[in-house]
Amino acid sequence: MDNQAIVELIQNEDYFLITSHVDPDGDNIASQLGLLSIFKELGKHAVIVDQDATPVAYQFLLNDDVIYHQLPPDTRYDYSFVLDAANLDRVGDSVVALIQQGNGVINIDHHTSNTRFGTYNWVEPEACATAIVVYKLAKALGVTLTPEMATRLYAGIITDTGRFRYTNTTLETFEVSADLVRHGANPSYVATQIYDQEPISKLRLLVKVLSSLQSAADGKIHWLQITKSCYDETGSNVYESENMINYATSIKGTKLAILFREMENSDRIRVSFRSKGFVNVDKLAQCFGGGGHAAAAGARIPGTLAEVQQKVLTEACKWV
């Protein structure tokens, strides 16, 4: 059993690298920091290195810890933990190079499409968040949950379930959340930090995004777009657009919501998909080299905004 091998590896080794996927989301940051808390409790040495910057909304989870974007000089690590990534490409080229230097890779995730790329794999596709898997790892290690650990893992759960709303929200979601609250996670505090500290630039960006709303397939598809100039005109950045697709999902009759985003320094368009259960957007995104979950997925597709929209909408109309 890989799970037991992972527990024993942590008990027997002392130096670890922790990482996760590019374009960090809440579960990504929360799971990495939750695992770091576990290693601190066990007296292990661990460093988090992510390719991309940590979104402002999740920086409250850092406390006194640091997420690096380059390996600090003279850092020793013997094994790398890759969290919340369906495949190794998701961590980004600079981090893949780091991981290949260690003695092995531990893959901890909850994506259905996970490729089991690790030397050891703990993948639970029914778990609503990687934070749940990290919680189970803490239990398996016999680590007592600290308030810091509980707060971090709880943040991963609320973000990946859309605040306990998505179809991945299960009895286990609430049972683990209850235990995290029991050990010091404060639901109101976490929600306020993540959702009610928005910069006004984000609201200005939202105005532009909503005005781009269009529909296809008799209103079964609603889609939004963000061009590069939207960010300059509103003083916002790509991280502030993370959940704006949800406005398209919220419309009555929508089976599929799509957000098209031009990317800085890239000839690809970032396409996000959301479904309310009828369409498996993981499979739809795979048509374009992407992936994710049944209800939320994405892809980065080469071409201009107009070209990618035409290609994606033509395919999407077959799915609704």
Q: Least Å distance between CB 86 and Mn ion? A: 9
Residue 84 is a binding residue for Mn ion (CB under 5 A): yes
Q: Which two tokens stand for residue 304?
A: 């201009």
Only one of the segments 77-85, 145-153, 174-182, 189-197 lies at the binding site for Mn ion (rule: CB under 5 A); that segment is 77-85
Could you give the CA distance from residue 225 to residue 230 in angstroms, rounded to a whole number?
10
Among 27, 124, 242, 262, binds Mn ion (CB under 5 A): 27
Q: Least Å distance between CB 261 and Mn ion? A: 20
Nearer to Mn ion, 27 or 240 (CB): 27
Residue 262 is a binding residue for Mn ion (CB under 5 A): no
Only one of the segments 1-9, 24-32, 39-47, 256-264 lies at the binding site for Mn ion (rule: CB under 5 A); that segment is 24-32
Residue 116 has, within 13 A of its CA and on its CB side, a CA count of: 6
Residue 109 is a binding residue for Mn ion (CB under 5 A): no
Among 50, 148, 160, 262, binds Mn ion (CB under 5 A): 160
**What mask, x for binding Mn ion by CB under 5 A, covers residues 119 to 158?**
-----------x----------------------------
Give the footprint of Mn ion on this chain (CB under 5 A). 27, 84, 130, 160
